[in-house]
Amino acid sequence: MSSVRASQALLRGTSSSWCFEDSLTMAYSRFHLSCQHTSAKVVLIENLWIGTLKKLFIVGTLLYICFALVNDKRYQWKEPVVSSVHAKVKGVGEVKKEIMENGLKKVVWNVFDTADYTVPLQGNSFFVMTNFLKIEGQEQGLCPEYPTRGTLCSSDRGCKKGWMGPKSKGIQTGRCIEYKGKQKTCEVSAWCPVEAVEKAPEPALLGSAENFTVLIKNNIDFPRHNYTTRNILPDINVTCTFHKTQNPQCPIFRLGDIFQETGDNFSDVAIQGGIMGIEIYWDCNLDSWFHHCRPKYSFRRLDDKTAKESLYPGYNFRYAKYYKENNTEKRTLIKAFGIRFDILVFGTGGKFDIIQLIVYIGSNLSYFGLTLKYVSFVDEPHIRMVNQRLLGRSLQDAEGEEVPRPPMDFTDLSRLPLSLHEPPPIPGQPETIQLLSEGATPRSSDCPNWCQCGKCLPSQLPERQRCLEELCCRKKLGACITTSEPFKKLILSRHVLQFLLHYQEPLLVLDADSTNSQLRHCAYRCYTTWRFGSQDLADFAILPSCCRWRIRREFPKREGQYSGFKSPY
Ligand code: GDP
Ligand code: ZN
Ligand code: ZN
């Protein structure tokens, strides 16, 4: 149990003492009320153990806050990367081809170069063909369908003129004709002969694509930090090949190596094709003293390699090459199997930012019983940060630290229904009160002396907290912010506020009882985000009295007192 030795401890000023307001002292001072002395008294409790524990707690918390500040770089403003990529595949492959010459089978080798096996795709992707099926000499005409369960027939009755199944290659003519030998199928109007249902060749025809290489060029940009860079540095060795540990910065990748990294076998994937993701991660520190901005490459198989044969495995598509022979249009149809490479670029760039640092420190001060408040005057370009403890009289007179105003983000504003044709007021609801125009505004009779705009009202709060609401929208005499166009269009518009509430909670039911409260609180938030920019500052921002009361007049509470600002922590 701590011993109360108030006077002694005060005199000695013991370092390991703990200050707090005690009810005993309150009673003590009440006893002395007759002397008209009403100041609260501080009692020092001498207890080494509690004192040390408290100090340890403070030091521990401080250490942790500093650790998080440095480790998570909370002093930085982080921006997502904007990038462009370009990939170039290089390599030559050979494909064995059997042809008939003078009744004899002959094997020839066809060379495939970049133009043959790569197909440009949209977005940050490229395709490398590894296997294919080819049907040569197709032309428009009538021919039997390839025999499957749905196309086999025994007479014309089994076929239907004009019918087209989801898997059919043409439009049925209604006749049942011979396909091969005794097999009969429905005749179709199509590119003839129709493509047979065939399995992809095994092993893959272009399995040598394993040795192809791809060069990836990636330019990145952090627009707000005004910093651009790229993955290929001028001093890079152009004959290098990427290796996770030995050459992690080389932008040239061997296709076989990419698959090895993800634990896949290239020759297996090459048969049916697949999708491979190449991830480029930029974690950039743009501060000059720790500057680092190099990419990290990693790979990820993106298609479902466990899918059963029947579930359309791999990756393939068809394309055709058209030509004219004896004045008839013909085509070569190619069903290409291969690997689609998707290049995904992500990451952030961080740079020291005073606002981030202040916000971080400010939000942590509450652990030490200190809370920061932010105020903004319409006639000052910056924001002011005020420590509550420093507060002597009204918030209006507190000096505070000057903090730059965060840059405005207009992206959200464009979503607001800030149209000029606002719906007409609903009958029965009070219409917006016409405000006085800019310029000298007459001071109302109960306008407090700290007010500079003539529209503020005294606070309703109990005496001790009153100074928190003694704040005007201006530092020097002039027009009130509540007379401005954005204040009327944004903060006082029932239409906009209702939209914002629904934007946050689409199915929110605004019942008559709570509507005004919700709209009022939304208007407060709308004002703070408008004037303070960053959401972190907005939570600790104090509304000027004129705005607070203008909002309350628009969306009043039926009875009782308004509770005012509550600290979010
Ligand atoms: P109530 O509706 O009767 O509770 O009273 P108010 O109209 O004063 O609204 C109280 C709510 O608005 C609380 O959640 C407060 O935190 C918030 N609020 C009131 N004043 C301020 C302010 O100056 N700044 C901020 N950021 N929030 C405020
Ligand atoms: Zn004022
Ligand atoms: Zn004002």
pTM beyond cutoff 0.75:
no
562 lines ligand 1 (CB under 6 A): yes
The pLDDT of residue 281:
95
Question: How close is the Cα of 19 to the center of ligand 2, in Å?
Answer: 38
| pLDDT at position 26 over 50 | no
CB 342 within 8 A of CB 278: yes
CB 40 within 8 A of CB 21: yes
Closest residue (by CA) to atom 18 of ligand 1? 565
Alpha-carbon dihedral 497, 503, 504, 506, rounded to 10 degrees: 120
Q: Please tell me what DSSP assigns to residue 206.
A: T
Pull the structure tokens for residue 433: 């009160």
541 lines ligand 1 (CB under 6 A): yes
The pLDDT of residue 432:
41
Q: Please tell me what DSSP assigns to residue 496.
A: H
- Cβ neighbours for 366, distance < 8 A, ≥ 6 positions apart: 567, 569
Closest residue (by CA) to atom 10 of ligand 1? 564
How many other CB atoms sit within 10 Å of the CB of residue 236?
13
Mutate which of 396, 522, 566 for ligand 1 pocket (most atoms within 8 A of beta carbon): 566
The pLDDT of residue 92:
87
The pLDDT of residue 345:
94
Mutate which of 373, 470, 524 for ligand 1 pocket (most atoms within 8 A of beta carbon): 524
Q: To the nearest whole percent, how much of the chain has pLDDT over 90?
A: 22
Q: Are strands 213-222 and 82-90 parallel, antiparallel or unpaired?
A: antiparallel
518 lines ligand 1 (CB under 6 A): no
The pLDDT of residue 467:
78
Q: In the structure, what pLDDT confidence band is assigned to residue 167 with cuts at 50, 70 and 90?
A: confident
Q: What is d(CA 294, CA 231) in angstroms, rounded to the nearest whole number?
A: 7
User: 2-25: per-residue pLDDT in tens?
Assistant: 333 333 333 333 333 333 333 333
The pLDDT of residue 310:
53
Cα distances from 303 to residues 27, 194, 276, 527, in angstroms, run: 76, 29, 7, 48
Q: What is d(CA 272, CA 268) in angstroms, rounded to the nearest whole number?
A: 8
Q: What is d(CA 336, CA 131) in angstroms, rounded to the nearest whole number?
A: 6
516 lines ligand 1 (CB under 6 A): no
Pull the structure tokens for residue 355: 């606002």
User: 223-255: per-residue pLDDT in tens?
Assistant: 988 999 999 888 877 788 999 888 888 999 999
Which is it for the CA torsion 350, 352, 358, 360, positive or negative? positive
The pLDDT of residue 290:
87
| pLDDT at position 330 over 90 | yes
Q: Please tell me what DSSP assigns to residue 57.
A: H
Helix (H, G, I), strand (E, B) or coil at 120: strand
